[in-house]
Structure 1
Amino acid sequence: MQSDAPRRPVTIITGASRGIGAAVAERLAADGHDLVLTYRDRESDAAEVARACEASGARVLLLRVDLADLDAAAAVVPAAVERFGTVTGLVNNAGITGRIGGFLDGSIDESELLFRVNVLAPIVLTRAAIAHMATDRGGAGGCVVNISSGAATTGAPNTYIPYAMSKAALNALTTGTSKEFGPVGVRVNTVSPGTTRTEIHAAAGRPNAPDERAPGIPMRRPGEVHEIAGAVAYLLSADASYTSGADIRVAGGN
């Protein structure tokens, strides 16, 4: 096991203490990745995810990071390189929705925080990761996966338009960076979940939102976190070696 460590992929996952991030971490650990997992709070949950990943053979660095603090976000990739010597993958998963409600009822302060976490932090992290990975800078290539949302294309009227805007920006990050850095060995892709059974809905004030929305989903159910994790794992695998600039929509037919 120890002799294999230098050849193992090393992937950063933001927001990995629960939900989609935790499922992605556990899936990648099972697939042979070493991991850098960030979390903002819920330390006991993050530690439990780390233990589960270690039980699958992964080496894990757990970092407490508030991604609204862009200086703290900028320290994640250097910390990963210091611990493991390299970074081969980045999953920009962490995000917040803001409160569910009409557009005119929203707070600009809440929207500003949302954009710091959902857009500016991924820009900071992606810049640092690509600077390390790019072959024209001495890197060995790598892959970035942005966790977007089906809301990016629907606009999420009456729900959370600023959140939808932030995810549309993340989609543009994928499109632009995949084209700019494809020639230097960096693939960038998006996974866009539809309504998925996670705690993010409770944080937005509608804990029953997944089941409430189920009748409007062609498959008549919300997604489960492991179904999102499978798409992320594919994009980070050798099977996706010619896949870049893609958006895999995991949304039950929506």
Structure 2
Amino acid sequence: MSGLLIVTGASAGIGASTARMAAFNGWSRVIVHYGSDKDGADETAAMVESMGAQAYVVQADVSKPAAVAKMFKKVSELKPGRIGLVNNAGIVAPKGSLMDLTPDRVKKVFEVNVFGAIEVARQSVQLMRDWGKGGAIVNISSAAARLGSAGQYVDYAASKGAIDTLTYGLADELAPEGIRVNAIRPGIIETAIHAKGGLPDRAAELGPSAPLGRAGTADECAEAILWLLSERASYVTRSILDVAGGR
């Protein structure tokens, strides 16, 4: 499959794994987006190119619409092709209960995880229409959207609940254009996001509680994402795939 894969939040974790594995799934060009971790993005890009695909490193704060627009202006200057979007960029605030969910904290989480995701999707679909080559979207939700993350990250869980709803709505709206929209809900995955939330040992501690008895890996999430974007999933839209070990 030739085309352009756009991966937001590709400097680490699930985004980085998806970008690195893209060439094995036929993507010849990959947009490696990052927010603040340039070193991580550069490392991802080097891996992408070592696998035979071309990488473009692009920085943008997805919580700022002007920054997202600037990013897509750069992308629009590339040779047109089929577009795949991995709408992955997201943040988690430190562990906290209801009293810790101050307006400023919740606002920041939603600006990145929800408002940013919607704007990235909007700009991507506009580019799909301009180029006329088609495309597909995979949003990155979380099992937290089902479980709620009580006493830990209720605001993060709520933001991912919004991503589930966004996935359903966009899938219905874009199906007549042949644009498929799906999502995955990762469970306890071994990535740095747990440390960023103040619980660096969370995956090791909670992984064994999953029916499969362990935490998952970013590569396992990437496999699901790349399948949903591929023509092997050509009759799959409006679906949310749990990658959570049965949790």
1:148 aligned to 133, 136, 141, which one? 141
Note if 1:92 corresponds to 2:83. no
Corresponding position of 2:233: 240
Q: Which amino acid aligns with 1:25?
A: A
Instruction: Give the one of 31, 39, 46 matched to 2:34.
Output: 39
1:131 counterpart = 2:100: no
CA RMSD of aligned residues (A): 1.4
Q: Deviations over 1:159-181 (max 9, x none)?
A: 11110110011111110010011
1:155-194 → structure 2 map (5 Å cutoff): 155-194=148-187
1:87 is displaced (CA, Å) by 5.2
Q: Shift in Å at residue 138 of structure 1? A: 6.3
Q: C-alpha separation between the residues in 1 aligned to 2:32 and 2:24?
A: 15
Does 1:208 pair with 2:201?
A: yes
Letter in 2 for 1:30: F
1:3 paired residue number: none
2:107 maps to which residue?
Answer: 112
**Which residue of 67, 72, 76 corresponds with 2:71?**
76
TM superposition score normalised by structure 2: 0.95
Choose which of 54, 59, 66 in structure 1 pairs with 2:61.
66
What is the CA distance between 1:217 and its match in structure 2? 1.1
Residue of 5, 9, 29 corresponding to 2:3:
9
CA distance, structure 2, for counterparts of residue 48 and residue 123 of structure 1? 27
Task: Report the secondary structure of 2:169's partner residue.
Answer: helix
1:128 shift after superposition: 1.4
Greater shift, 240-249 or 61-70, is seen at 61-70
Q: 1:107 offset after TM fit, Å?
A: 2.4
| Identity across the alignment (%) | 38
Contact 2:34 2:60 in 1 (8 A): yes
| Letter of the 1:150 counterpart | A
Asked whether the equivalents of residues 207 and 216 of structure 2 are also in contact (C-alpha less than 8 Å), the reply is: no
| Contact preservation (8 Å) 1:17, 1:39 | yes
Q: Quick one: distance in 1 between partners of 2:147 and 2:196?
A: 21
Counterpart of 1:27 in structure 2 is 21
CA contact (8 A) 1:15 1:93 kept: yes
Could you tell me which runs of 5 or more consecutive residues in structure 2 were left unpaired when the two chains were aligned. none
Question: Are residues 86 and 75 of structure 1, via their aligned partners in 2, closer, same or farther at CA, if it must alter by over 3 Å?
Answer: farther
Distance 2:175 2:211 in 1: 35
- Cα distance between partner residues in 2 of 1:138 and 1:43: 29
- The count of aligned residue pairs is 246
Q: Which amino acid aligns with 2:189?
A: T
Q: Could you tell me whether the CA contact under 8 Å between 1:30 and 1:53 is conserved in 2?
A: no
After TM superposition, give the deviation of residue 215 of structure 1 in Å. Answer: 3.3
Moved more, 76-85 or 240-249: 76-85
Contact 1:96/1:118, CA 8 A, preserved across alignment: yes
Q: 1:170 to 1:127 in 2, by over 3 A?
A: same
SS at match of 1:75: helix
1:85 Cα offset (Å): 2.7
Letter in 1 for 2:112: V
For 2:42 and 2:131, locate their aligned partners in 1 and report how far apart those are by CA, in whole Å.
34
Runs of 5+ unmatched residues, structure 1: 1-6
Partners of 1:240 and 1:69 lie apart in 2 by 32
Look up the match of 1:122.
Answer: 117
Q: How far off is 1:197 after superposition?
A: 0.5
Counterpart position of 2:192 = 199
Deviation at 1:132, TM superposition (A): 2.4
Partner AA of 1:161 in structure 2 = V
